[in-house]
Amino acid sequence: MPTSRKIRLASYPEGLPKDSDWELTEEEVPEPGEGEVLIANRYVSLDPAMRGWVSPLPSYLPPVQPGEVMRAGAVGEVVASNVDELPVGTYVNGVLGVQEHTVSGPKGLRVVNPELAPLPTHLGALGMPGWTAYFGVFDIGEAKPGDTVVISAAAGAVGSVAGQIAKAHGCRTVGIAGGPEKCAMLLDEFGFDAAIDYKNDDLRAKLKETCPDRVDVYFDNVGGPVLDAVLGRLAMKARIPLCGGISQYNTDGKPVGPANYLAMIAARAKMEGFLVFDFYARYDEAVDHLAGLIADGKLVHHEHIVEGIERFNEALNMLFKGENTGKLVLQVGAAA
């Protein structure tokens, strides 16, 4: 009988996830039932949000339970089908889990066009992080040509796309990332107008220097001290799409909130949290916009691929250690 490997949650991590928090199991490849397909997964998305999904604390999704296959987005190929619209050979994107094979009904599966871009890009610039950047910049950030847009975790999956789509829209873009290599990448590869190394620069002084007209939109991916520093440099009527707060995801206590929030009163600023899922009905619009920019050479997509399902924990932790550039994915099947 052919077998398939899966990552199951062993116990809820404390702080940074450890190898022992997961169990790698090898199980028989399941058969698809009536109205189901069998998908051979190729690439699994590694997302900071996974840390919140393995916490027993209440969140926007129910926690993964110990013993369950770890929740994850993934792209794969239909290899057996009892669904007419999803014949064998179709590539799909969905919440397929950290596993080599998934049986699923058609609900929640999106057909992926591999001619638009390589499969991993459908987990990055053309997938969930790209959609997050698109709706965060335009719907929540209300970015307008001429605005100064500051983005944190700017060399990552969401941030690198957010910077490029804002730039293509006529904004002035300033990226914040950790280390000189990432900052060089912001300028040379992702076309930011300025880069700030939050690990080595004086953040407040650099914000003053790189944002002479202050900050109209701050796309916050990290929270913590970076958020506080940008709050001190807001322009009038600034918008702050609150996308994520990765600096707080592995703290055992409560996350530290912004201390400098009173600056928002003086700036008459608006901070708004959002989840990409809220825009589900408009994902095609985002894909069209992003694919158009890729075709025009205005959006560079960058994927960071780690090979082997057994490296799941090591790869996940790269997000929290700042070891990834662009979209981090785990290759669990044949390269495509």
Considering the complex, what minimum distance in angstroms separates the CB of residue 208 from ligand NAP?
20
Considering the complex, what minimum distance in angstroms separates the CB of residue 51 from ligand NAP?
8
Q: What tokens appear for 36 in the block?
A: 């189901």
Task: Give the Cα separation of 331 and 336 in Å (integer).
Answer: 10
27 vs 139 by CB, closer to ligand NAP: 139
75 vs 86 by CB, closer to ligand NAP: 75
32 vs 245 by CB, closer to ligand NAP: 245
Through-space distance between the first and last CA atoms of the chain, rounded to whole angstroms: 25
Considering the complex, what minimum distance in angstroms separates the CB of residue 224 from ligand NAP?
6
Task: Give the Cα separation of 38 and 108 in Å (integer).
Answer: 14
Considering the complex, what minimum distance in angstroms separates the CB of residue 318 from ligand NAP?
7
3 state SS of 203: helix
Q: 120 with 44: CB under 8 angstroms?
A: no
78 vs 222 by CB, closer to ligand NAP: 222
Helix axes 203-210, 224-231, angle to 10 degrees: 40
DSSP assignment of 235-295:
EEEEEEEE---GGGTT-SSPPPPPS-TTHHHHTT-EEEE--GGGGGGGHHHHHHHHHHHHH
For residue 147, which phi and psi values (nearest 5 degrees)?
-65, 150
Considering the complex, what minimum distance in angstroms separates the CB of residue 32 from ligand NAP?
30
Provide the pairing of β-strand 270-273 with 234-242. parallel
102 vs 324 by CB, closer to ligand NAP: 324
Considering the complex, what minimum distance in angstroms separates the CB of residue 91 from ligand NAP?
21
Task: Give the Cα separation of 45 and 326 in Å (integer).
Answer: 12
23 vs 139 by CB, closer to ligand NAP: 139
Considering the complex, what minimum distance in angstroms separates the CB of residue 120 from ligand NAP?
13
Task: Give the Cα separation of 268 and 247 in Å (integer).
Answer: 26
Q: What tokens appear for 43 in the block?
A: 């690439």
Considering the complex, what minimum distance in angstroms separates the CB of residue 37 from ligand NAP?
26
3 state SS of 306: strand
Q: What share of the chain is helix, strand, coil (3-state, %, to 5)?
A: 30, 25, 45
Q: What tokens appear for 138 in the block?
A: 């335009």
Binding residues for ligand NAP, rule: CB under 6 A, are: 47-49, 129, 132, 153, 155-159, 177-178, 182, 221-222, 224, 226, 243-247, 274-276, 319-320, 322, 324, 328
Considering the complex, what minimum distance in angstroms separates the CB of residue 127 from ligand NAP?
10
42 vs 182 by CB, closer to ligand NAP: 182
Q: 184 with 208: CB under 8 angstroms?
A: no
Q: 254 with 184: CB under 8 angstroms?
A: no
138 vs 320 by CB, closer to ligand NAP: 320
81 vs 164 by CB, closer to ligand NAP: 164
With tokens 């924990």, the residue in question is 313
